Amino acid sequence: MLIVKSLHVFFMVTWFAGLFYLPRLFVYHCMATDAVGIERFKVMERKLYWGIMTPGAILTLVFGAWLMLGYGFSGGWLNAKLALVLLLVAHHVWLGKLLRDFAADRNVHGDRFYRWINEIPAAPALALIVYLAVAKPF
CA distance 102 to 39: 10
**Domain parsing of the chain, residue ranges:** 2-135
What does the pLDDT read at residue 56?
Answer: 98
Between CA 19 and CA 7 the distance in angstroms is 18
How do residues 6-38 score in pLDDT, each as one tens digit?
999 999 999 999 999 999 999 999 999 999 999
Q: 23, 117 in Cβ contact below 8 A?
A: yes
Residue 68: CB atoms within 10 A of its CB come to 14
pLDDT of amino acid 7 = 95
pTM: 0.89
Q: Give the mean model confidence (pLDDT) for residues 70-74.
A: 77
Average pLDDT, the chain: 92
The total number of residues written for the chain in this structure: 138
Of the chain, the percentage scoring pLDDT greater than 90 comes to 68
Query: Region 59-77: what's the mean pLDDT?
Result: 87
